[in-house]
Amino acid sequence: MAKVEILTGAERQRRWSAEQKLSILQEAFGADGSVSVVARRHDILPQQIYAWRKKFSPPKLEAPKSASFIPVSVIAPLESPADGSKRSGLRSRSKDVEIVLRNGRVLRIAADADLELLSALIACVEAA
């Protein structure tokens, strides 16, 4: 025979203030915190704590979906060293493009690089 449990009280749906939620989050994710232990202590599900964390965490920055145009300046080519070293010959054959981004970072890439790769790199470097 199956066991049947009869609940006689009214269902409860507690309301937590923002301060209470933040306090529980701090308790759960603090140095000595454990989500499971804190959830049991406050008689809530661990999933509720994770939902509150998601609600109160700052939004994540996403890389722009499309490329944007930025100003470009052309500089004079570098002169080859007088000693004619092998490295300078290799360097002169591969043309690099240097891009200074809005955040001040510099991106150097081969001039014949794929446009999709370049767009993805610019988005990642600007978002970092």
Give tens-digit pLDDT for 3-31: 887 777 666 778 899 999 999 999 999 88
Same domain, 127 and 70: yes
Task: Report the range out of 54-58, 66-70, 89-93, 100-104 with the highest average pLDDT.
Answer: 54-58
Tell me whether residue 22 is in a domain. yes
The structure's pTM equals: 0.41
Tell me whether residue 78 is in a domain. yes
Same domain, 85 and 109: yes
Q: φ and ψ at 37, to 5 degrees?
A: -65, -45
Give tens-digit pLDDT for 95-115: 788 888 888 888 888 888 888
Same domain, 24 and 86: no
pLDDT for residue 35: 93
Tell me whether residue 4 is in a domain. no
**Does residue 45 or residue 32 have the better pLDDT?**
45
Same domain, 120 and 66: yes
Q: How many domains does the chain have?
A: 2
Tell me whether residue 120 is in a domain. yes
Range of the domain at 37: 18-56
How buried is residue 28: exposed, middle or buried, by Cβ count under 10 Å (0-12/13-18/19+)?
buried
β-bridge partners, 108:
98
Q: φ and ψ at 106, to 5 degrees?
A: -115, 130
